[in-house]
A and B are shown apart, each in its own frame.
With several copies, the nearest count.
Chain A
Amino acid sequence: MTAETILQMSDIVKTFPGVRALDGVDLDVRKGEVHCLLGQNGAGKSTLIKVLSGAHQPDSGTITWQGERVRLNTPMAAMNQGIATIYQELDLVDGLSVAENIYLGHELAAAGFSRHGDTERAAGRLLERLGHPEISPQQEVGKLPAAGQQIVSMARALSHDVQLIVMDEPSAVLDQEEVGRLFSVIRDLTADDIAVIYISHRLEEIREIGDRVTVLKDGRTVATGLSAPDTPTSELIREMTGRDVEYAFPERGMTAEDAPVVLDVAGLSSPGDFTDVDLRVRRGEIVGLAGLVGSGRSEILETIYGARKAGSGSVTVDGRRIRPGSVAAAVNAGVGLCPEERKTQGLLLDEAIYRNVSLATLGRFARGGFLRRGDERAQAEQHVRALDVRPADVERTAGTLSGGNQQKIVLARWLLRECRVLLLDEPTRGVDVGARSELYALVRRLADEGVAVVLVSSEIPEVLGLADRVLVLSEGHVVHEGQADDIDEHQVLDLVMEGSAA
C-alpha cells in the first residue's frame, strides 16, 4: 500500500466574498487508491475538488501532479493532465443526447464534423461498462431521471483517458443496487492503477470502498491518511464535527391505534407511473416508502401534493377531499413537500435564505398584502438556527450554501408553515452525518407533535429506522405494507426484486 503519490495539494486557500471556503487544505492521493474525503456540509469538499478540476482558481497554495507543480487554469487543463471530475450538481446539458453529453468538449470528430456513429457506439460501451446498457446513447439527457443522469456523468468522466477521477457524492441519487454497480466500476478502475477521490456522507460506503480518508472541517484538513476500513465510525464523526454525535435513529413514539387518520390516499393511479396506491397516515405517524430508483415514489408524492394530475383516486386530508391537481389546495389543506431536486424545484438560488424559508408562508406575515418583514425575518431565522444551517446568516443568498445546507432551507420552509402533512422526498440526500441525526430527531419530534409524515428515501436502513410503517414499492405497485419493525433490509430488497421479476 505504499504506492507513489500521484497528487499533492498543499495549503490551498480559497475565499469567496465573505467566506473563507478553504483555509489551508492539504491532500495527497496515491496511485490506484480510493481516497475518501469527509466533512460536514459546507466544510469545503466541493470547493476543493473544483480547485482541483480547474473550475476555481485558488488564492494560494500549490498543486503537485505526478511530481510536477501544475497550474490548472481551466477545466480543460485539468482534463489534459488526466484529472476527470463528476460534480456534485449534475452538470449536463438537457438538450443534448446522452452520447453528446458524454463527449462534450472532447468530441469524436473529423475536421469539426461529429462522428455520430462512433460517438454513440463508444458511449454505448461506456454505459455497458457501468452496467447500464438500457440507457440509449441517443436518448435526450433532460428526459432521464436523476439516477440516469448520474450514470451519464460517470460515463463522461470515464470517457477521458485519466489517472484520477474525482467523484463528488456520486451515490446521493443512487439506490443500493446502483451503488453496488458503482463500486465494482471503482474497483475496476483502481485495478488499472487509476486513483479515485470519493466524497460521500454515507460512512458505510466509505468503509466498504475506501482506502484512506482525509477529513475537512471548516475549510481545514483536520485529519489525513486515516485508514478507511479500520478507523471507528465514532472517531470519523468526532473529527468531522468536533464532538460526539449519537448516530442512531430516535426512539419511535407510540402512535395510538385510534389516532385520527390525517392523510388518506385511496386508489391513486397515474398511468405509466404507479397504480392503485392506498396510503393512510395517522396523526403522529411516519410512513416510509421504500423501493428502487424509478419505482415511482417521487411521482406518488408529487401527485398527492397536486403537482401532477392523477389519473384516478382521491386524496383526503383531515377528512376533507382536496382538489386534485392543485398545489395551492394541498398547501392550504396543510400539506408540505420537500422536493427531490432542491436546486431546480426547491430554491430561489439568488434570493436571501430567509426569503426562501418564508416563501410558502408569505400570507402569514402580511397585513393587507404588506409584508411585516421584521417578523418574517425573525421567524425564519429561528428555524434556520434550529436546523443549524451554516453559515447562519439569513441574508446570504441560498445559492452560496453547500448542498446539505440548502436541503435544510427547504425543510425550514415547511417547519415554518407548521403543516399537518409533510411529504419528504429524499430529505437526507447530501446531508452530513451530524445534520442527518439532527434531521431524524427533528422529523420524529414533528411526528410526536402530531404531524403526519411520508418519507421517501433510497437508503433502506433510513426508511426502516425512522418510519413506523413502510410501504414497499416495485414498478409502481405496492408489494408490501407493514410495521417497520417486522421487516429487514434484505427482505425489502427481495420484495423489490420479486416485484420487478413479476
Chain B
Amino acid sequence: MSEQTPVPQATTSPADEHRRVESVEGAPRGSAFGRFMSSSAGRNVGLVVALLVLCVVGAATTGQLFVDVDNAMTILRYASVIGVVAIGMTFVVTGGGFDLSVGAIVALASIWSTTVATQTMAQDFHWIVMVFTAIAVGAGCGLVNGVLIAYGKMAPFIATLAMMAAARGLAEMISDKRTQLVDVQGFGDFFSGDFLGLPVLVWIFAVVCAVAWVLLNRTTFGRRTIAVGGNATAARLAGIAVNRHTVLLYVLVGVACGIAAVMLTARTSTGSAQHGLLYELDAIAMVVIGGTLLGGGRGTIVGTIFGVLIFSTLTNVFTLNNLDTSTQAVAKGAIIVIAVLLQQRVAARSDTS
C-alpha cells in the first residue's frame, strides 16, 4: 500500500524513476543500525548487485590480483579523494543545485595550501595550518558560488561554470603553473600512514561518509536540504530561509573540496593546478548513479558511496585486465548503462513485491 506512485508522473518523467530516499517509511522499527542496513540493502539492491557483478568479473578475469587486501586498499585509497567530493556534491544536488567547479576548487585549495608562504607557516607551527588553509579556500569558493546562486539568482550551471574557469585560472596564476612539492614535517607521514590497518585517507572518507549520513538523515539541516530541493516554495512557506540554506550547501561542498584537496595533496605529495581535472562530471555521475535525484528533493549518501565504489572498482578491473584506454571508454559507457538499467529493474521488482 505504501509504495503506490501516482502513475502518470512516474511513466512520463524519466527522472522520477530515480526516486529513492533514506527516510524510514515503512521500515521496521528497530535499532538505528538495523534501519541503516535495511535502507541501504533494500533500496540500493540494484547497486549492490551491480557492484557484486563487477567484483565477480574482476575476480574471474584476474583472480588473485583482484581478490586481495592490497588491491582493495588500492581501490579504496583511489576512491577516497573523489568520494569526499561526491559526498559533498550529494548535498548540493539534493538541495536542487549543481556544482561544476568542484575540480577547480580542489586544484585551488591544493595550490593555496602548498604555497611557500603556507608551507613556511606550517613548518613553523604545525601541518594543520595547511589543512585549515585548504578548507578555508574551499569554503570561500563555495560561499561565492552560493551567494551568486541564492542572492544573485544565477543558474547554478552558469555560476559554477564561471567559478570553474576562475578558480583554475587563479590556481595557475598562484602556482605559475608549477607543481608544488610538499615538504612540511609530518604532513605526509600522517596522511599517508595507516591507522588500525586502514589507510588514513580511507578513514577520512569513512568519517566524512558517516558524518554526511547523519547530517542528511538525522538533522534538521538534512531534512531542510531535501525540502529546499524538493519544493522550494513549500520550504519558504514553512519558514525555512531558503537562500541562506542554499549558500550553506555550496559552502559545504566547498569544504568537502578542501578536504579532498588535502587528501590529494598528501597522496601525490604535491599541490597542482591540474589536480581534480574532470571531478565535476565524475562526482555528479557517482551521485546520480547512486540514486540522488538531479533536480533535487531526493538524496542518498549510501547510494553515492556505492556509486563511488562502482566507478573506482571499474577502473581497477580495467587496469588489472590491461585494457587499452579506448576500449575502457567504450566498456565504461556500456557498463554505466547496464548498471543503471539493472538497478531500475531490481528496484522496480523489490518495490512491487
- Nearest A residue to B20 via CB reads A95
A400 to B5, CA, bound (A): 8
Contact yes or no, B26 A55, CB < 8 A:
no
Residue B62 is within 8 A (CB to CB) of chain A in the complex: no
Q: B268 interface residue, CB < 8 Å from A? A: no
A352 in contact with B25 given A95-B297, A143-B2 (CB within 8 Å):
yes
B152 contacts A by Cβ under 8 Å: no
Bound state CA distance, A331 and B293, in angstroms? 30
Q: Are A105 and B1 in contact (CB under 8 A)?
A: no
Specify the chain B residue showing the minimal Cβ separation from A331. B239
Judging by beta carbons under 8 Å apart, are A359 and B4 in contact? Answer: no
What sequence of 0s and 1s flags, for each residue 208-240 of chain B, a beta carbon within 8 Å of any chain A beta carbon? 000000100011110110110111011111111
Answer yes or no: A351 CB below 8 A from chain B CBs: yes
Contact A143/B5 with A55-B237, A74-B239, A369-B220 known, Cβ cut-off 8 Å? yes
Q: Which of B25, B237, B240 contacts A307 (CB 8 A)?
A: B237
B residues near A75, Cβ cutoff 8 Å: 236-239
Known: A17-B351, A140-B23, A352-B23. A93 touches B220 (CB 8 A): no
Instruction: Chain B residues near A140: list those with CB within 8 A.
Output: 2, 21, 23, 25
Residues of chain A within 8 A (CB-CB) of B218 are 113-114, 116, 370-371, 373
Contact indicator A105/B238 (Cβ below 8 Å): yes
Task: State whether the Cβ of A169 lies closer than 8 Å to any Cβ in chain B.
Answer: no
Q: How far is the CB of A391 from chain B (nearest CB, A)?
A: 10
Q: Which of B4, B9, B238 contacts A360 (CB 8 A)?
A: B238
* Cα A156 to Cα B5 with chains together (Å): 23
Q: Is the CB of A107 within 8 A of B220?
A: yes
Residues in A with CB closer than 8 Å to B26 are: 136, 138-139, 395
**Interface presence of A467 (CB below 8 A):** no
B296 closest partner in A (C-beta): A95
Q: Which residues of B contact A112 (CB under 8 A)?
A: 219-221
Q: Is B69 an interface residue, CB under 8 A from the partner?
A: no
Write the nearest CB–CB distance from A48 to chain B, whole angstroms.
15
Q: Is A100 an interface residue (CB 8 A)?
A: yes
Which of B4, B25, B229 meets A400, CB within 8 Å?
Answer: B4
Q: Is the CB of B23 within 8 A of A355?
A: yes
- Please report the total number of A residues contacting B with Cβ < 8 Å: 76
Determine the distance from Cα of A33 to Cα of B294 in the docked complex, in whole angstroms: 46
CA distance A351 to B228 in the complex (A): 12
Q: A116-B218, A349-B231 are in contact. Are A136 and B237 (CB under 8 A)?
A: no
- Contact A17/B3 with A93-B230, A95-B23, A362-B223 known, Cβ cut-off 8 Å: yes
Contacts of A96 on B, CB cut-off 8 Å? Answer: 23, 223, 226-227, 230
Let me know if B25 and A370 touch, CB within 8 A: no
A residues near B2, Cβ cutoff 8 Å: 136, 139-140, 143, 395
Whether B27 sits at the interface, judged by CB under 8 Å, is: yes
CB of B230 within 8 A of CB of A95, answer yes
**Would you call B24 an interface residue if the criterion is a C-beta within 8 Å of the partner chain's C-beta atoms?**
yes
Residues of A within 8 A of B19 (CB): 95, 142, 350
A50 to B234, CA, bound (A): 13
Known contacts A75-B239, A93-B234: does B7 contact A138 (CB below 8 Å)?
no
Q: A139-B26, A143-B4, A345-B234 are in contact. Are A371 and B21 (CB under 8 A)?
A: no
B168 at the interface (CB under 8 A from A): no
Determine if B329 is an interface residue (Cβ-Cβ < 8 Å): no
| A389-405 contacts to B (CB < 8 Å) | 393, 395-397, 399-400
Query: Shortest distance in angstroms between B94's beta carbon and chain A's nearest beta carbon?
Result: 9
Residue in A closest to B232 when the chains form the complex, CB atoms: A93
Bound: A362/B226 CA distance, A = 13
Contacts A348-B297, A350-B230; is A76 near B239 (CB within 8 Å)?
Answer: yes
Q: Is B6 an interface residue (CB 8 A)?
A: yes
Q: Give Cα distance in the complex from A397 to B7, angstroms.
A: 12
Is B275 positioned at the interface, with any CB of A under 8 Å from its CB? Answer: no
Q: In whole angstroms, what is the CA distance A85 to B239 when docked?
A: 12
| Cβ contacts A299-313/B at 8 Å (1 or 0 each) | 000100101100000
For B5, the chain A residues whose CB sits under 8 A away are: 142-143, 397
How far apart are A322's CB and chain B's nearest CB, in angstroms? 12
Which residues of the other chain, A, contact B77 by a CB distance below 8 angstroms?
Answer: none
Q: Are A359 and B235 in contact (CB under 8 A)?
A: yes
Decide if A347 is an interface residue (CB 8 Å cutoff): yes
Task: Select one of A106, A109, A114 contacting B239, CB under 8 A.
Answer: A106
| A95 in contact with B21 (CB, 8 Å) | yes
Does the CB pair B239–A79 fall under 8 Å?
yes
Shortest Cβ distance from residue A416 to the other chain B in the assembled complex, whole angstroms: 11
Interface positions of A from 319 to 346, Cβ below 8 Å from B: 327-328, 330-332, 337, 339, 344-346
Which residues of the partner chain A approach B221 to less than 8 Å between Cβ atoms?
A: 112, 369
- The minimal Cβ–Cβ distance linking B306 to chain A, given in whole angstroms, is 19
Q: Which residues of B contact A274 (CB under 8 A)?
A: none
Asked if A397 meets B234 with Cβ closer than 8 Å, knowing A138-B26, A370-B218, the reply is no
Interface centre among B4, B6, B27, B218 (most CB of A within 10 A): B6
Whether B352 sits at the interface, judged by CB under 8 Å, is yes
CA distance A5 to B25 in the complex (A): 43
> What's the minimum C-beta distance from B206 to chain A, rounded to whole angstroms?
20
Given A17-B351, A97-B25, A395-B2, A328:B223 Cβ within 8 A: no
Q: Which residue of B lies closest to A366 (CB)?
A: B220
Q: How far is the CA of A258 from the CA of B21 in the complex (A)?
A: 52
Smallest Cβ-Cβ distance to B24: which chain A residue: A138
- Per-residue CB contact flags for chain A residues 62-99 toward chain B (1 = under 8 Å, else 0) read 00000000000011100100000101000111111100
A307 touches B297 (CB 8 A): no
Residues of chain B within 8 A of A370, CB atoms compared: 214, 218-219
**Which residues of the partner chain B approach A346 to less than 8 Å between Cβ atoms?**
234, 237
A-contact 0/1 string along B228-257, CB 8 Å cutoff: 011101111111110000000000000000
Report B-chain residues with C-beta under 8 Å of the C-beta of A107: 220, 223
Do the beta carbons of B4 and A17 come within 8 Å of each other? yes
Known: A75-B239, A94-B297, A360-B239. A138 touches B25 (CB 8 A): yes
Which residues of chain A come closer than 8 Å to B234, judged between CB atoms?
91-93, 104, 344-348, 359
- B297 adjacent to A399 (CB under 8 Å): no
B8 at the interface (CB under 8 A from A): yes
Contact between chains at A95 and B298 (CB < 8 Å): yes
Let me know if A363 is at the binding interface, CB within 8 A. Answer: yes
- When chains A and B are docked, how far (Å) is the Cα of A366 from the Cα of B218? 9
B16: nearest residue on chain A (CB-CB)? A350
A277-328 residues with Cβ-Cβ distance < 8 A to B are: 302, 305, 307-308, 327-328
| Distance of A232 from chain B, by nearest CB (Å) | 37
Contacts of B231 in A (CB 8 A): 91-94, 344, 347-349
Q: Is A413 an interface residue (CB 8 A)?
A: yes
Q: Which of A16, A56, A91, A345 contacts B4 (CB 8 A)?
A: A16
What are 25 contact pairs spanning A and B, CB under 8 A? A53-B237, A75-B237, A75-B238, A92-B231, A94-B231, A95-B226, A97-B25, A104-B227, A107-B220, A114-B219, A138-B25, A138-B27, A140-B25, A328-B241, A331-B238, A348-B227, A348-B234, A359-B234, A359-B238, A369-B219, A370-B219, A395-B2, A395-B25, A396-B4, A397-B4
Given contacts A97-B24, A114-B220, A370-B218, 4 further A-B contacts (CB under 8 A): A17-B4, A55-B236, A114-B219, A345-B8
